[in-house]
């Protein structure tokens, strides 16, 4: 499967899903007018990719400093799918970046870690 | 007032056209006669456009060595653009703009030919088209804003009874900030005083943050408001968890999110986060049920820390929330005066500060504690100043609502 790339806008994150390299990146802010429309394609492509993946390692790096509640739901769907891939024998590594003072983003990451235990979760506090 | 420009024909400039019988020396003479003449349309005998001669292009050819000698007596079609943009007068200017952009640079210098049923009428200029498009967009924007402003009147009317009830019940001991990001929004509050045996025994306060903001958010608040009214009619005003469960079912039914056959992602996956709080002053306790929203409780007298009580993690009404979902009634004894704060995530998640990160619960708690001894209205002013200063030049990300209520238990 090919790389999937979307440049960041003021209300959508940079999406750099390098499927061949097994590296996915979300970076920026997420509050599109329609989260379902923005994330629909991302979810479908990721799901199709994961269908083909067995016994491999995938890294996903999340560097978001804001996402609204509709995006939150979409992120849960994404991690739900990744968790499934992990349960099926793949190694999914989530690198969750947050500013050292940003407890809001950290808390959300910890919720994800709790809900999706098959994903290997690493929180990275960024000093700035 | 200027005529409203909607069609290509509205941009018409009558301009002289020539036929292929004209020679290049004739064109040279025409351009020489009139320095403002930028281009010359060339027509078939029956009036259909054949092409467009651009002044600069023509001159740059005719000044080449030997060209005058070679071409002066030839037909003017030699240096004519054979595929200018030709549009029907009845074409809408939005479509015309798309065609002009597609045609590229030359349309910006040469303009375009306007025809009626294929026959030449005149020419149009891109600058006029841009003026018309700007005017059209301003008009459409104005209509949209007026429409949303009127929707805001409706949304505020629905909230008005609760505002009045708050002002009556807590003349000086509450404060409220309700700031939709886009004139209308997805945050709503509801307040009703309750009575027991004819006596004031407390209240029911509700704060909901419906999915989305702006117009879709406002639609959701109307559904939430009806859901709440129906839930209270069925379950009374004393059991927050039962109310959330009933509202969950109502929203799922209303938006067809209960039926997988009808309710797919193309339809809707919407709902709300929020909190219902019941204060029973006789029982000296607070009961709250919450979907993903924290409740802040601050002692008014003592120098104690502000408490943040987490809600349940299930949202209300979403496709992923089961029809029979239940929420938990948290009971908090209130034996001395407290101030509680119901907030939507627009407060906590607002990006700002030097690091461009979320305002956050810790900073919110600190800001509220700093205003502990202040009166309700002073605390509101202080909070607004702190929040605005934190937001700084950053955009508002979401609707922001904060409802602060003083709880005074009946002395036992």
pLDDT digits (tens, 9 = 90+) for A38-65: 999 999 999 999 999 999 999 999 999 9
- Give residues with Cβ within 8 angstroms of B120, minimum separation 6: B17, B41, B43, B47, B48, B49, B113
* B287-299: average pLDDT: 96
Task: Name the band, by pLDDT with cuts 50, 70 and 90, for residue B1.
Answer: very low
Task: Name the band, by pLDDT with cuts 50, 70 and 90, for residue A128.
Answer: confident
Nearest to B93 by CA among B118, B62, B59, B129: B129
Task: Name the band, by pLDDT with cuts 50, 70 and 90, for residue B212.
Answer: confident
**In whole angstroms, what is the distance from residue B253 CA to residue B241 CA?**
19
* B61-68: average pLDDT: 92
Interface-testing mutation among B217, B348, B349, with chain A (most A C-beta atoms within 10 A): B349
Question: What would the 3-class secondary structure string for chain A be?
Answer: CCCEEECCCCCCCEEEEECCCCEEEEEEEECCCCHHHHHHHHHHHHHHHHHCCCCCEEEEEEEEEEECHHHHHHHHHHHHHHHHHHHCCCEEEEEEEEECCCHHHHHHHHHHHHHCCCCEEEEEEECC
Task: Name the band, by pLDDT with cuts 50, 70 and 90, for residue B404.
Answer: very high
Of B212, B214, B360, the CB nearest to A104: B360
> Chain-centre distance of CA A11, in angstroms?
16
Position B261 pLDDT exceeds 60: no
Position B259 pLDDT exceeds 70: no
Q: What's the pLDDT at B260?
A: 59
B130 touches chain A (CB under 8 A): no
- Share above pLDDT 70 across residues of chain B, in percent, rounded to a whole number: 97
Task: For residue B208, give both structure tokens.
Answer: 């909901």
Q: What's the pLDDT at B225?
A: 96
Of A29, A36, A69, the CB nearest to B345: A69
Q: Would you tell me which residues 282-311 of chain B have a C-beta closer than 8 angstroms to some C-beta of chain A?
A: none
Cβ contact B49:B121 at 8 Å: no
Interface-testing mutation among A8, A69, A75, A125, with chain B (most B C-beta atoms within 10 A): A69
Q: What's the pLDDT at B266?
A: 56
pLDDT in tens, B125-171: 999 999 999 999 999 999 999 999 999 999 999 999 999 999 999 99
Position B59 pLDDT exceeds 60: yes
In the block, residue with structure tokens 């939507």: B344
Of B214, B315, B357, the CB nearest to A65: B357
Beta strands in B57-198 (DSSP E): 86-88, 112-116, 119-124, 174-179, 187-196
- Give residues with Cβ within 8 angstroms of A64, minimum separation 6: A13, A26, A27, A28, A29, A30, A105
- Under the phi-then-psi rule, with left for phi > 0, alpha for psi from -120 to 50, and beta for the rest, what region is B398? beta
Cβ contact B90:B9 at 8 Å: yes
Q: Strand, coil or helix: what is B102? A: helix
- What's the gap in Å between the CA of B210 and the closest CA on chain A? 9
Interface-testing mutation among B187, B211, B357, with chain A (most A C-beta atoms within 10 A): B357
Q: Strand, coil or helix: what is B126? A: helix
Lowest-confidence region among B8-22, B53-67, B163-177, B256-270: B256-270
Task: Name the band, by pLDDT with cuts 50, 70 and 90, for residue B264.
Answer: very low
Q: What is the CATH number of domain A4-126?
A: 3.30.750.24
Position A20 pLDDT exceeds 50: yes
Other C-beta atoms within 10 Å of A117: how many? 11
Position B185 pLDDT exceeds 50: yes
Q: What's the pLDDT at B256?
A: 86
B318 touches chain A (CB under 8 A): yes
Interface-testing mutation among A104, A107, A113, A114, with chain B (most B C-beta atoms within 10 A): A104
Q: Strand, coil or helix: what is B4? A: coil
In whole angstroms, how far apart are CA B386 and each of A100, B5, B371? 21, 48, 11
In the block, residue with structure tokens 């560097």: A63
Which residues in chain B touch residue A111, judged by CB atoms under 8 angstroms apart?
Answer: 313
* B365-389: average pLDDT: 92
**Chain A residue with minimal CA distance to B270?**
A70
Position B331 pLDDT exceeds 90: yes
**In whole angstroms, what is the distance from residue B81 CA to residue B68 CA?**
19
Position B263 pLDDT exceeds 50: no
Chain-wide mean pLDDT for chain A?
94
Task: For residue A10, give both structure tokens.
Answer: 């003021």
Which residues in chain A touch residue B356, judged by CB atoms under 8 angstroms apart?
Answer: 65
Beta bridge partners of A70: none
Element holding B132 (H helix, E strand): helix B126-169
**Chain B residue with minimal CA distance to A32?**
B212
In the block, residue with structure tokens 């003026």: B131
Cβ contact B324:B331 at 8 Å: no
> Contact A65/B313, CB-based, under 8 Å?
no
* A63-89: average pLDDT: 93
> Contact A65/B209, CB-based, under 8 Å?
no
ipTM of the complex: 0.91
* A12-40: average pLDDT: 94
* B303-318: average pLDDT: 92
Domains of chain B: 8-124 (3.10.580.10), 154-407 (3.60.40.10)
Task: For residue B60, give both structure tokens.
Answer: 């740059």
Q: What's the pLDDT at A52?
A: 92
Position A4 pLDDT exceeds 60: yes
């Amino acid at each position: 499967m090919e790389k999937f790339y979307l440049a960041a806008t003021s209300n959508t994150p940079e999406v750099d899903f390098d499927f061949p390299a097994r590296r996915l990146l979300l970076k920026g802010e997420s509050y599109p007018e329609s989260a379902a429309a923005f994330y629909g394609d991302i979810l479908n492509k990721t799901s199709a990719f994961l269908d083909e993946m067995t016994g491999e390692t995938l890294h996903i790096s999340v560097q978001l400093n804001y996402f609204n509640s509709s995006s939150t739901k979409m992120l849960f769907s994404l991690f739900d799918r990744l968790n499934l891939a992990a349960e099926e024998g793949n190694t999914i590594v989530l690198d969750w970046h947050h500013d050292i003072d940003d407890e809001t983003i950290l808390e959300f990451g910890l919720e994800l870690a709790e809900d999706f235990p098959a994903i290997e979760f690493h929180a990275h506090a960024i000093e700035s | 007032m200027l005529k409203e420009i909607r069609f290509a024909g509205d941009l018409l400039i009558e301009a002289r056209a020539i036929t292929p019988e004209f020679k290049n020396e004739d064109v040279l003479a025409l351009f020489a006669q009139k320095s403002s003449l930028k281009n010359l349309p060339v027509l078939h005998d029956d009036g259909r456009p054949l092409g467009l001669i651009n002044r600069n292009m023509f001159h740059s050819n005719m000044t080449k060595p030997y060209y005058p000698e070679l071409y002066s007596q030839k037909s003017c079609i030699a240096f004519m653009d054979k595929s200018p943009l030709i549009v029907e007068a009845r074409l809408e200017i939005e479509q015309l703009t798309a065609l002009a952009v597609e045609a590229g640079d030359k349309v910006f210098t040469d303009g375009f030919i306007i025809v009626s049923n294929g026959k030449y009428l005149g020419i149009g200029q891109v600058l006029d088209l841009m003026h018309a498009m700007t005017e059209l967009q301003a008009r459409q924007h104005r209509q949209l804003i007026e429409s949303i402003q009127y929707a805001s009147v409706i949304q505020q009317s629905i909230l008005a009874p609760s505002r009045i009830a708050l002002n009556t019940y807590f003349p000086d001991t509450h404060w409220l900030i309700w700031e939709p990001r886009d004139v209308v929004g997805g945050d709503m509050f509801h307040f009703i005083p309750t009575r027991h045996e004819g006596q004031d025994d407390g209240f029911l306060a509700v704060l909901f943050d419906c999915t989305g903001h702006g117009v879709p958010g406002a639609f959701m608040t109307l559904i939430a408001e009806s859901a709440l009214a129906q839930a209270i009619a069925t379950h009374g005003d004393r059991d927050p968890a039962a109310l959330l469960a009933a509202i969950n079912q109502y929203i799922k039914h209303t938006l067809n999110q209960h039926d997988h056959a009808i309710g797919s992602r193309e339809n809707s996956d919407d709902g709300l986060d929020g909190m219902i709080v019941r204060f029973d002053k006789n029982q000296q306790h607070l009961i709250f049920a919450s979907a993903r929203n924290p409740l802040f409780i601050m002692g008014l007298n003592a120098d104690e820390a502000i408490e943040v009580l987490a809600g349940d993690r299930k949202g209300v009404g979403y496709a992923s929330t089961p029809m029979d979902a239940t929420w938990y009634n948290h009971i908090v004894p209130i034996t001395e005066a407290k101030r509680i704060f119901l907030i939507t995530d627009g407060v906590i998640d607002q990006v700002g500060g030097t690091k461009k990160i979320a305002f956050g619960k810790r900073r919110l708690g600190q800001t509220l504690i700093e205003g502990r001894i202040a009166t309700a209205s002073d605390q509101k002013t202080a909070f607004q100043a702190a929040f605005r200063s934190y937001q700084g030049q950053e955009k508002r990300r979401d609707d922001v609502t904060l409802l602060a209520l003083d709880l005074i238990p009946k002395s036992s």
